[in-house]
Every structure is written in structure tokens, then in C-alpha cells.
């Protein structure tokens, strides 16, 4: 799947999940908490592809998401790719093939999603507002890059960086710590997981079973059979999948806000 579809799927899952929580379990979130969770989940749904680096010294190449903060995120991607490759070789079994880069390995596994979610939650809980500002800055940047890719490309990474920083500071100042912060870690983890599923339904195989060894392979790529799998970047993905995800997001948002708007309207009459 391509960046914008990944981001959109993260947003759709967070919004519909929030709707379900409100509808079935009466778990209410403030509009700000909802917006932040949605943005962070959309950003988290791009995070795994931060293992696709380009040529840092020449400021070229890399996944779209790796270009969010210009050459800085390109460098992060370079590090992430090398670490992933290191883990690949450290855990590979005899039937795992040789690789020259770490793309779609460690960051596309369940332990990674859990680690990132837990790590984010821990950072927020331990360091409070400062950690929240840093994490939100990073995740909102990724979300902007994914959800508004055309705008982000035109605006350039510096504008994206400034907008993310502004949004992060505003949010940290207004989001209550007790209920808002734990959601950030959950949103990052859920986003990562949604990304892996997205890659699985396109033909790209994902080592989702790692670290379970199967037939002397630790990094077995799992994907849908070619016949039913979507072609990454194909028409079905860009038109059908994105339209469906947009409709789900809009319906969930309506479901979340319509009841309270209607109620207010009635009371005012």
C-alpha cells in the first residue's frame, strides 16, 4: 500500500473504533482527544515504512514518509533500516534468504507494534508534557505527510515541520494528562498494526509471524494469494480502497458528533 492509503486506514480504524467505544461502552472522548488519537493513529500507520531510507548525503530517495522532516527523517530511516537489517541477520535461520537492506522486516512485526505502543505510553507517563510534545510533533508530521500528501509536497518539509510543532504544543497545553496520554501510545501501536495488515493485503509479504520459526525460516513473508491481493498503487487501491476508507471515516465522525449536536439543538429549542 502507498503512504496516503496507509495513513487513511489508520484514521478510519481509530475513528470507527472510537465510535464503537462510545456507542457500545459509553466511552466518551473530547473532540481534541479524538482529533489527536486520529492524527497519531494515521501517523503510526506510516511509521513502519520509516525503514526505507534513501541517500542521506545527497538528500534523495527514501519512502515519502522518510522525507517528512527533510534530511533529518531520512537519516532516522537510514538508522532504522540498518538496525532492522541487523536484527534480521541476528535472528535469521538457514532458509531465510540473504538481504541487502532491512525494509519490511523488523518494523513490520507484531513485537515492533507492541514495543512502540508500550514505549510511547511509558515515555508519556514518565516524562509528561515534554515527551507528549515530542511524540505528537513527530506523529502529526507523519500524519500530515500521509493524509495531505499533495499539500505536504507543495508546502515542503519546513512548513510541515512548523505546522506539526505548533499543533503539538497546542495539544500538549490542552490535553488532560489522565485520559489523553495513555491513548497516544495505543494510537501509535494500533496505527503500526493497521500498516502491517495493509501491506499484507497488497502483494507485499510481511513477516507477521516473527519470531515464530516455520520450516527453518524465521522471516516467513505472509500475504494474500496473488489472485485476490491488491496491487500496491493500483487503481483498486487508489480509487476503491481510499474512497471506502474516507466514507468509513466520515460516517464514524458523524456517528461520534451527531448525537451531541442534535441534543444541543433540541435543548436550545
Q: Which residue, chain included where needed, has cell 501517523?
A: 43
User: CA quadruple 141, 144, 146, 152: dihedral positive or negative?
Assistant: negative
* CB of 172 or CB of 237, closer to Zn ion: 237
With CB under 5 A as the contact rule, the residue among 49, 81, 96, 237 that binds Zn ion is 49
Residue 81 within binding range of Zn ion, rule CB under 5 A = no
Q: Give the 3-state secondary structure percentages of the chain, helix then strand then coil, rounded to 5.
A: 70, 5, 25
Within residues 127-146, the interface with Zn ion by CB under 5 A covers none
The stretch near Zn ion (CB under 5 A) out of 79-87, 150-158, 198-206, 214-222 is 198-206
Residue 97's Cα: distance from chain center in Å?
Answer: 28
* CB of 223 or CB of 253, closer to Zn ion: 223
Element (H, E) at 60: strand 60-61
Minimum gap (Å) between residue 223 Cβ and Zn ion: 12
Q: How many residues bind Zn ion (CB under 5 A)?
A: 3
- How far apart (Å, rounded) are the C-alpha atoms in residues 3 and 97? 27
User: Any idea of the CA torsion for 166, 171, 177, 181, to the nearest 10 degrees?
Assistant: -90
With CB under 5 A as the contact rule, the residue among 4, 199, 220, 252 that binds Zn ion is 199
* CB of 96 or CB of 199, closer to Zn ion: 199
Q: Which residues bind Zn ion (CB under 5 A)?
A: 48-49, 199
Amino acid at each position: 500500500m502507498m503512504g496516503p492509503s496507509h495513513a487513511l486506514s489508520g484514521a478510519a480504524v481509530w475513528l470507527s473504533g472510537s465510535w464503537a467505544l462510545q456507542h457500545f461502552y459509553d466511552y466518551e472522548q473530547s473532540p481534541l482527544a479524538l482529533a489527536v488519537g486520529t492524527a497519531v493513529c494515521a501517523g503510526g500507520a506510516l511509521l513502519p515504512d520509516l525503514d526505507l531510507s534513501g541517500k542521506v548525503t545527497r538528500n534523495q530517495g527514501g519512502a515519502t514518509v522518510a522525507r517528512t522532516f527533510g534530511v533529518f527523517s531520512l537519516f532516522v530511516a537510514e538508522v532504522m533500516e540498518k538496525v532492522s537489517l541487523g536484527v534480521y541477520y541476528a535472528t535469521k535461520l538457514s532458509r531465510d534468504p540473504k538481504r541487502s537492506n532491512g525494509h519490511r522486516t523488523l518494523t513490520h512485526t507484531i513485537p515492533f507494534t507492541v514495543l512502540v505502543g508500550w514505549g510511547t505510553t511509558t515515555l508519556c507517563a514518565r516524562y509528561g508534557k515534554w515527551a507528549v510534545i515530542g511524540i505528537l510533533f513527530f506523529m502529526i508530521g507523519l500524519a500530515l505527510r500521509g493524509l495531505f500528501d499533495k499539500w505536504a509536497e507543495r508546502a515542503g518539509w519546513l512548513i510541515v515541520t512548523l505546522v506539526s510543532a505548533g499543533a503539538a504544543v497546542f495539544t500538549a497545553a490542552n490535553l488532560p494528562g489522565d485520559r489523553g496520554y495513555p491513548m497516544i501510545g495505543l494510537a501509535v501501536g494500533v496505527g503500526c498494526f493497521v500498516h502491517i495488515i495493509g501491506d499484507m493485503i497488497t502483494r507485499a509479504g510481511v513477516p507477521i509471524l516473527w519470531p515464530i520459526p516455520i520450516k527453518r525460516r524465521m522471516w516467513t513473508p505472509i500475504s494474500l494469494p496473488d489472485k485476490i491481493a491488491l496491487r500496491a498503487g493500483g487503481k483498486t487501491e487508489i480509487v476503491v480502497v481510499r474512497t471506502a476508507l474516507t466514507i468509513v471515516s466520515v460516517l464514524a465522525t458523524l456517528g461520534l458528533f451527531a448525537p451531541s449536536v442534535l441534543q444541543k439543538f433540541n435543548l436550545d429549542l
